[in-house]
Amino acid sequence: MARRRWPLIPSSEITPESVYLNRRQFMKGLALGAGALALAGCATPPEPTSTPTPAAATPVAQATAAPGLLPPPDAAPVASAQADELGDALTSHEAATTYNNFYEFGMGKDDPARNAKDFVTSPWTVQVGGLVGKPGTFGVEDLIRQFPPEERIYRLRCVEAWSMVIPWLGFPLAKLLQAVEPASDAKYVRFETLLDPQRMPGQRSGWYDWPYVEGLRLDEAMNDLAILSVGLYGKMLYPQNGAPIRLVAPWKYGFKSIKSIVKIDLVAEPPASLWMKAAPNEYGFYANVNPDVPHPRWSQATERRIGEGGRRETLPFNGYAEQVAGLYAGMDLQANY
Amino acid sequence: MRKISPLQLLVHVAALIPLAWLIFDAATGGLSVNPIQDIEQRTGKYALVLLVLSLSCTPVNILTGWAPVLRWRRPLGLYAFGYAALHFLAFLGLDYAFNLRFIWADVANKRFIFVGLAALLILIPLALTSTRGWQKRLGKMWRALHRWVYLAGGLVVVHYVWAVKSDIREPLLWGAAIGAGLLIRTPPVRRWILAQRARRLTAKQRGAEASRSA
Ligand code: HEM
């Protein structure tokens, strides 16, 4: 797992946006293969031979930011590294911000980027309560000041068998939970997305039981991998990525990482998520990435990495077994999917 | 060689446009960042649409009496098979790079793949026996064999329903189209429709005669 403090010191002047096989190079990419991903230039077709030029170490992200805050979503994308700890290249900024599942803004992959364009995410507060000693309502900007975001480069594995590598900015969820002092009978964390069919047109569809709800066991939530993300690629989140604040739990399928959170409650019983209610035989409470638990539609044994041709094998816990497998010691992961 | 009428030509052009469009999109960056899925979904959809169109020719002929539509059945059916074959090849080759270990690990527990495969396996003998020669050779058997196309259509609808996450309206709509066509061609319904058409025709003729003699 790669992590850096924000503001970021970019390792080179080229934006990581260029590190990918852009879809226009898809046909070329099928021939090139994953090894040749360090390509330069995104507007111009990349040449496999070009090498990154070393750059002056300017904190690009800081330069455009308001004091204590992140640069706006449309600032230039930056990341401190071009690959995750396994050497897998970052997914392009373009793909990460235009190919999204966020049903509050429509069911097509390109719907969220289009329909969430004018979604206003400031001011925004998160109400934290339930079985806690110090409940409170926190403005997102105050959270960012209180818990300075750090960069985490994580793989994102969607249950639909596609995946990305994304440089998130965020802070450990544990920090916020500790600040509100969980009571001894708090065993689970329940998250809720904004419910506002006026601003989130997808919520007018009757296919799902809105609002979006997700949950973690408290020890999962306390694991250092679980973050509340407020940005990606060195700047604030776009609405389609779950602005202004979202969960990222990289060892679980993407749908667990709930977006645009307004409410976090500590509770005694496992909360029923939107997907568990919609299709209990397909989606369980844990939803850990597990190549051995099949899904009726999508492969869980293999996945398509966006930007690559073909398929790669899916790793148990999405490659984070070392950090999280202990949470599930002795549990039957076939039954607890 | 028989001469190809403009109406026949129209079918070929119309059926090839989606392929041209797909190739154009793939070559110019018009696909999403998950292009393999786009290709799989689009070829599958074109196959289904062409299959439904092929199955609609006979009902349209029954309803309207327009005969040339019957000559569209075979090309539309063959193009449906062609897109289904592309769909299957995209799945094997583009998606899985013919990696049999991956394919088996992924497919063994997917019911929607099995019904898709069943549909394809039905379409293969139908495509092979679609020629005039086979039609003559098989005689009465030919009609019996080619009725299986309805089963293939039904299986594809099930394949589609099981392939989507929640909104199954579109696959059900295609299923309803196949069902309506099937209903129209069942003998009692067909007889009734033909009788209605005949009645209207004679009424019109009588009207014409009456106005002439007046
Ligand atoms: C062995 C045979 C087949 C295989 C392996 C197969 C595979 C697939 C796969 C993997 C998908 C899901 C694509 C996705 O959403 O990611 C799909 C969808 C689909 N397939 Fe097939 N298929 C087969 C046969 C057929 C046949 C014979 C037809 C039609 C004649 C067909 C029509 C469709 C349609 C309409 C969809 C839905 C497309 C959409 O979501 O818009 N398939 N198929």
- If you take atom 9 of ligand 1, which residue's CA is the nearest one? B40
pLDDT exceeds cutoff 90 at A294:
no
Find the CATH number of the domain harbouring A249. Answer: 3.90.420.10
The beta-carbon neighbor of B95 closest among A24, A92, A311 is A311
- If you take atom 25 of ligand 1, which residue's CA is the nearest one? B116
- If you take atom 34 of ligand 1, which residue's CA is the nearest one? B44
pLDDT confidence band for A157 (50 / 70 / 90): very high
- Residue A43's pLDDT is what? 32
- Residue A336's pLDDT is what? 80
pLDDT tens, position by position, A197-250: 999 999 988 788 899 999 999 999 999 999 999 999 999 999 999 989 999 999
Residue A334, domain member (yes or no): no
- Residue A107's pLDDT is what? 86
Share of chain A above pLDDT 90, in %: 61
- Which residue matches tokens 């069943």? B118
pLDDT (tens place) for every residue of chain B, 214 residues total: 567 788 889 999 999 999 999 999 999 988 989 999 999 999 999 999 999 999 999 999 999 999 999 999 999 999 999 999 999 999 999 999 898 988 988 888 889 999 999 999 999 999 999 999 998 999 899 999 999 999 999 999 999 999 988 788 999 999 999 999 999 999 999 999 999 988 888 887 787 777 766 5
A–B CB contacts, 8 A cutoff, strictly below: 77
The binding-site residues of ligand 1, defined as CB within 6 angstroms of any ligand atom, are B 37, 40-41, 44-45, 47-48, 51, 80, 84, 87-88, 91, 113, 116-117, 119-120, 156, 159-160, 163-164
Q: Which amino acid is at A276?
A: M
pLDDT confidence band for A92 (50 / 70 / 90): very high
pLDDT exceeds cutoff 50 at A278:
yes
- Chain A residue numbers with beta carbons less than 8 Å from the beta carbon of B109 are 294, 296
Residue B87 alpha carbon to ligand 1 centre in Å: 7
Residue A181, domain member (yes or no): yes
- Nearest Cα to Cα of residue A113 among A123, A124, A122, A102: A102
Residue A337, domain member (yes or no): no
Residue A108, domain member (yes or no): yes
- Joined together, the tokens standing for residue B3 give 């001469």
Cis peptide before B59 (omega within 30 of 0): no
pLDDT exceeds cutoff 60 at A65:
no
Instruction: Say how many domains are in chain A.
Output: 1
Residue A5, domain member (yes or no): no
Task: Inform me whether the C-beta atom of residue A28 falls under 8 Å from chain B C-beta atoms.
Answer: no
Report the SS3 class of residue B168. Answer: coil
pLDDT exceeds cutoff 70 at A260:
yes
Fill in the DSSP letter of residue B93. I
What is the average pLDDT across A263-268? 97
> What domain range includes position A104?
11-328
Residue A101, domain member (yes or no): yes
The ipTM (two decimal places) reads: 0.79
pLDDT exceeds cutoff 90 at A138:
yes
